[in-house]
A and B are shown apart, each in its own frame.
Chain A
Amino acid sequence: MDYEISLLTAVGISVLFALSLNLITGLCGQISLGHAAFFGIGAYTSALLAKAGVPFLATLPAAMLLPAAFGVVVGLASLRVRADFLAITTMGVGFLFVGVVRQQDALGGEMGISAIPDTGLSKLAFMLLTVALCVLAALLSQYIRRSWMGQVFNAIAEDEDTTRVMGMDVPRYKLAAFAMGTALAGLAGALYANNLKFISPDSFGFVESMTVLSMVVIGGIGSIPGVTAAAIVLALLPSMFTFIGEYKLLVYGGLLFLMMRFSPDGVTGALRRLAARGKA
């Protein structure tokens, strides 16, 4: 049972992380290749606070606010760039995060932070908390999609210039997407740190950013059930087929390529087309 519980916890953290990127890339159309940095900021914030004696649950607000603050700064910097340039900028932010953390002794440097204090929750309770937060994040995403904010996000994702000419304050909406998405990534990072009790810069690098982007793209950009399902499958893959571990990036890269080539709207889009063909 212990194995299933820890597996479910890990999967839940992946789902939460994927849903956080889906807010930015899926709903608002802003690509990010450095999302793991915000996951990392949340993880480090929570870990350091916990080591300083702050109870686990009390570290969570800070582990959301700090990444969100950085998210807004990155968002501000990226207001002037679009699409492929935004991809490069966010990728740079990802490398910057790992580079800076490696050099800081206060953050544990290369060795990372180990022996993160116990959360005070049983393994089962921690798993249930993770799953509950996933459900909340999914419900929040669904609500945002249905709200006027979701309408505007959709419009920005499709055609930013036209959205502005229709009187909508596009920069503020983008910043809102970045703030919400990075806050949720920070929350996922805090869960990750307290689950493993050990973090190091290697856990928040480019591979992790690509992994989470694969989940969003393969699931079907913007589709909340699709992204959730893809996150579950892709998080389970390495533990079901241990040999994948070595070739993780190759598998994800291959899947990304296949999706972009054959079904740019992800598995969700492919299923929708199949259903339409079935009806016809």
Chain B
Amino acid sequence: MNDNIVEIDNLSFGYGNRQLHKGINMRFPRGKVVAIMGGSGSGKTTILRLIGGQLKPTAGEVRVDGKVVHQQSRQEIYNLRRKMGMLFQFGALFTDLSVFDNVAFPMREHTNLQESVIRDLVLLKLNAVGLRGARDLMPSELSGGMSRRVALARAVALDPAIIMYDEPFAGLDPISMGVIVNLIRNLNDALGATSIVVTHDVHETFAFVDYIYFVSDGVVVAEGTPDDLRNSNLPFVHQFVYGEADGPVPFHYAAPDYRRDLLRSTHA
């Protein structure tokens, strides 16, 4: 058995003329929590979609459990996805289903379990995220942190081997953030799964992940354990980790010279 459950080799991807990724290499060892970090719009989420087979790379490949994702048939991709759970940025709970039915959804779709067994399993998952008492609420009645937790319960409903998190901390208060951090770590270790966390929250992430990839301008600019990166001399990593406004990532979006811009008549 291969030690890495997900391997990304020389991956390139882009929309139209815009090249988002230019040859990315990553390894995700079994049992680890790995973070993909980078600025907004650097294509981090797209990497998750490429792993899930929702997008096709323009070059290179993603292998999940040894299988090249984009060469699989639709049915085979669906089979691969049953080994994956994904937490979307804002939960993406089904708004027409209750909390209970949301968590039961993957079980009802993919298993022939009896309703009584499903009930036990759903309560088990909801208990793990601390929301057993909220089972009858509708998604619109939940706070941001709570819906994230319900979505997490739903993502791990079928005990996936890979759990992907898309910006799990976005828009959460510090307490909810701490809760999610603990859940990611504990679920990963309890299920023996591999977690891939896409995020830009340096402080939280450095405290609990095993390995970090930094993505910028379509390539991996740095990688290592949190300790390696904290002591990194690379200007980009330094700017990112310490949150400096200007540096290798410029404050200004590419623009013509400011003085010439101002001097130009208003309607050229």
- State whether these chains interact: no
